[in-house]
Amino acid sequence: MRDPHTAQPWIAPGATLGVLGGGQLGRMFIHAAQRAGYGVVVLEPEAHAPAAQVTTQHVRSAYDDRDGLHSIARNAAAVTIEFENVPAQALEWLDAHLPLAPHAGAVAVCQDRAAEKALFTRVGVKCAAHAVIASHDAAADPAHAALLPGILKTARMGYDGKGQVGIEHPGDLPAAWSALGGVPCVLEQRLDLRSEISVILARGRDGASVHLPPQCNVHRSGILFASFAGEGAVDPDVATRAVAAAHVIAEGLAYVGVLCVEFFVLGDGSLVANEMAPRPHNSGHHTIDSCDVSQFDLQVRTLVGAPLVTPRLHSAAVMLNLLGDLWFDARGAQREPAWDAVLALPGAHLHLYGKREPRRARKMGHLTFTAAVGSQARAAALRACDLLGLAPFEAPPWTHDAGD
């Protein structure tokens, strides 16, 4: 058995790294790892998953399959994850047998909204007023009226707004809780948001950490629609406080790897931690094109024990998510979006994940626009919205460029 607390030696290029999960985050991790000279073995049940398409070693099994895990442990020098809902036992087993970043205990916290909020509270980072609802009696407790209007969220497995329902009246809670499957949930107060931002940081086994500049995120129907980075995207004072809070959270978890913390910014500029992801995050995809070290480069560095350097954002950026809806015309017939027109726009970087089947609300790719200043990136992104048939976005609430 391996002692997870002993210092890990540097894993030199040429070694093979493991990743659990075969989605787009795994695909972009593999791109970064391969560029740095590493091989990657992917554990993923789907034959044509985005990450499986770009690697030479694919272990096709369930994430908690014993043979699959043994195969990863035999072939990889260290393992990371690309999504957090890997069964806890699988992560604990890997943690005991080879370097795993992030470690199983940190992922367990990020898998559960109630545990996340308990951590935020323990380390002194404010989160929304909330209550844990894990029984019919708790759902019927009239004291919850104080949290309404609110949002009832399943504690586990929620993403892209799934597993959430708005609650206006206390009497609606028991039925809403049952409709969500009667699973443990968190009821949180609905806050009046000025904006949403996220901080992505990387922390090494030695506790050294660096962060990327925070980005401003705009959601539509509970799904990230656009992220804005660069001067003017986030109020500098808000950014400083968010970065400090994210580092406190990472310390509190003895975190190793890339961590994203989502924050709400309230009308008075105060910050409320929303949730976190123990991996690179959709809101950081622009860093591939806008930074000298991307969030995926940081994931590789933390995994192999390479030095962490503070990334420099060299371009302002706007990232647009490309959902499967774009692959259907007004009559519902399938078509390929007009990429040639989009690629004629300045600073366009098109990333498609190789998913064969477009579905509505499915993340098929993203499009990043980089420019010297934010207003130029926004102008190009707005043109792209027009070309793709997406409703235009408003500039983030705290937007000004040096050049505006």
Query: Residues interacting with ligand ADP, by CB under 6 A?
Result: 128, 151, 153, 158-161, 188-191, 193, 196, 219, 222, 262, 274-275
Which candidate, 383, 373, 173, places its Cα nearest to that of 290?
Answer: 373
Cβ proximity to ligand ADP, 65 vs 160, nearer residue:
160
Cβ proximity to ligand ADP, 78 vs 167, nearer residue:
167
Cβ proximity to ligand ADP, 179 vs 402, nearer residue:
179
Cβ proximity to ligand ADP, 102 vs 150, nearer residue:
150
Q: Three-class SS of residue 74? A: helix
Cβ proximity to ligand ADP, 194 vs 355, nearer residue:
194
Cβ proximity to ligand ADP, 227 vs 302, nearer residue:
227
Rounded Cα distance, 314 and 185, in Å: 41
Cβ proximity to ligand ADP, 190 vs 362, nearer residue:
190
**Closest distance to ligand ADP from the beta carbon of 159 (Å):** 5
Q: Per residue, what are the HEC states of 278-322? A: CCCCHHHCCHHHHECCCHHHHHHHHHHCCCCCCCCECCEEEEEEE
Instruction: Evaluate whether 369 touches 380 at the Cβ level (below 8 Å).
Output: yes
Handedness of CA 348, 353, 357, 362 (dihedral sign): negative
**Closest distance to ligand ADP from the beta carbon of 252 (Å):** 20
Rounded Cα distance, 306 and 11, in Å: 8
Which residues touch 268 (CB under 8 Å, ≥6 apart)? none
**Closest distance to ligand ADP from the beta carbon of 167 (Å):** 11
Cβ proximity to ligand ADP, 11 vs 229, nearer residue:
229
Instruction: Evaluate whether 78 touches 98 at the Cβ level (below 8 Å).
Output: yes
Placement of tokens 């789907």 in the chain: 46
**Phi, psi angle pair for 127, to nearest 5°:** -130, 175
**Closest distance to ligand ADP from the beta carbon of 136 (Å):** 23
**Closest distance to ligand ADP from the beta carbon of 134 (Å):** 18
- In the bound state, the residue with its beta carbon closest to ligand ADP is 191
**Closest distance to ligand ADP from the beta carbon of 192 (Å):** 8
Cβ proximity to ligand ADP, 219 vs 349, nearer residue:
219
**Closest distance to ligand ADP from the beta carbon of 361 (Å):** 11
Six-digit token pair at 131?
A: 């209550």
- Go through the chain and tell me how many residues it has: 404
Rounded Cα distance, 311 and 337, in Å: 33
Six-digit token pair at 96?
A: 């005991």
DSSP string, 179-208: HTTS--EEEEEPP-EEEEEEEEEEE-TTS-
Cβ proximity to ligand ADP, 186 vs 316, nearer residue:
186
Q: Three-class SS of residue 5? A: coil
**Phi, psi angle pair for 258, to nearest 5°:** -95, 130
Rounded Cα distance, 181 and 168, in Å: 19
**Closest distance to ligand ADP from the beta carbon of 92 (Å):** 24
